[in-house]
Each structure stands twice: as C-alpha cells, then as structure tokens.
C-alpha cells in the first residue's frame, strides 16, 4: 500500500503547454488575416480604390499609412509589398499548418520549423518597417502621429509574435542540446 501512495505520476503528454497554445493561437490568427484581408488585397490590388465592399472599406482605413495598398501599377514600393504579402499569404499557411500538426503530434522537427517560420516572417516585417523608414516614409500619405501609430501598431503583432515564436523555438532547441 505504501508503494501506491509514493508512486510518482507521469506528466500528461496530451496537455499542451501554455507556450504551445500561444504558438497555435498566433499562427491561426495570422493565417486567418493572410487568407482573408491580405489575399483580398493580392487579388484586387490594381483596383483597390474602386472597391466598396467591406474588405475594400477596411483596407481604405489603412491607406493613409501606406499608399502602396491603393496605387495602380508596380512601383518598387508596391513590388516589395506584393512580394512580402505574397509569401505571407500564398506560402506561409502551408508550413504554418504543418507546425500546428507537429505541435499536436509532438514531432521532433517542430522547433526547427517554428524557428524557421518565426525568423523569416519577423524578418519580413522588420524589412517592411525599415524600407518605410529608409525611404523617409515615402509611402505614407498623411504625416500625422495617428498615421504613424496606425502603420506601426497594426503591423507590430507580426513582428512581436513571430519574434517571440522564433525565440521560444531557439530556447527549446538550445535546452535540447544541453540534455
């Protein structure tokens, strides 16, 4: 009887850690935005100013912060933004879905995949910010504090979220190397 009272209980491997839940939540939110708002813009970017549906009006709110989302043609600023949004919308959802599956199934490649996705997406967001800054905010049509706040605050979740995901994966990989 004493042996049953002192028996240690193994941790339940079916319960996701808080970190895993946050990663899955971030991936789902960012993917939802990618396959709705960002995909919409990729499809209609040449005619954005004529769009009057709800997604077109939602994009119109962002226009003062970055006019490349409404300008016709392919100037360098728009080509850069198209490239970033194209990768984020057309490519990233696939490794993101694989990441969620790897977390749920506890696959060993989960952390390297998380580090890869987190790093390249955070890097893309950083480039988006730095190109705007280096160009003297050439794509900002209204130079008010509110516009700059909108530009940075609406994009900051991608930089912060994916940077945290990369850091979380890096720490897990380093800890695994010590074992």
One digit per residue, pLDDT tens: the chain, 179 residues?
Answer: 555 555 555 456 678 999 999 999 999 999 999 999 999 999 999 898 899 999 999 999 998 998 888 777 777 888 899 999 999 999 999 999 999 999 999 999 999 999 999 999 999 999 999 999 998 998 888 889 999 999 999 999 999 999 999 999 999 999 987 75
* Domain assignment present for 91: yes
CA 171 vs CA 14, 80, 100: distances in Å: 22, 32, 19
Q: Are 27 and 99 in contact (CB under 8 A)?
A: yes
Output the DSSP codes for the chain. Answer: -HHHHHPPPPP-TTSPPHHHHHHHHHHHHHHHHIIIIIHHHHHHGGGGGG--SHHHHHHHHHGGG-GGGT-SS--HHHHHHHHHHHIIIIITHHHHHHHHHHHHHT-TTHHHHHHHHHHHHHHHHHHHHHHHHHTTSTT-S--SHHHHHHHHHHHHHHHHHHHHHHHHHHHHHHHHHH-
| Angle ∠(110,152,54) on CA atoms, nearest 5 | 90
Element containing residue 92 per DSSP (H, E) = none
pLDDT, position 138:
87
Our count of domains for the chain comes to 1
* Domain assignment present for 54: yes
* Domain assignment present for 112: yes
Range of the domain at 62: 17-178
* Domain assignment present for 1: no
* Domain assignment present for 11: no
* Domain assignment present for 43: yes
Q: Tell me the C-alpha distance between 71 and 30, whole Å.
A: 25
> Hey, what are 85's tokens?
């949004």
* Domain assignment present for 134: yes
* Domain assignment present for 8: no
């Amino acid at each position: 009887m004493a042996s049953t009272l002192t028996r240690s209980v193994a941790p339940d491997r079916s319960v996701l850690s808080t970190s895993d839940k946050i990663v899955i939540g971030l991936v789902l939110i960012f993917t939802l935005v990618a396959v709705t708002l960002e995909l919409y813009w990729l499809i209609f970017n040449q005619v954005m100013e004529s769009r009057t549906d709800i997604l077109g009006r939602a994009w119109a709110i962002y226009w003062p912060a970055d006019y490349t989302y409404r300008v016709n043609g392919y100037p360098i600023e728009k080509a850069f933004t198209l490239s970033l949004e194209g990768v984020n919308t057309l490519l990233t959802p696939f490794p993101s879905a694989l990441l969620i599956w790897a977390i749920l199934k506890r696959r060993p490649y989960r952390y390297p995949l998380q580090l890869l996705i987190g790093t390249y997406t955070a890097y893309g967001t950083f480039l988006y910010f730095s190109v705007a800054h280096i160009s003297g905010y050439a794509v900002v049509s209204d130079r008010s504090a509110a516009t700059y706040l909108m530009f940075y605050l609406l994009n900051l979740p991608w930089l912060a979220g994916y940077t945290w995901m990369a850091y979380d994966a890096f720490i897990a990989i380093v800890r695994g190397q010590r074992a």
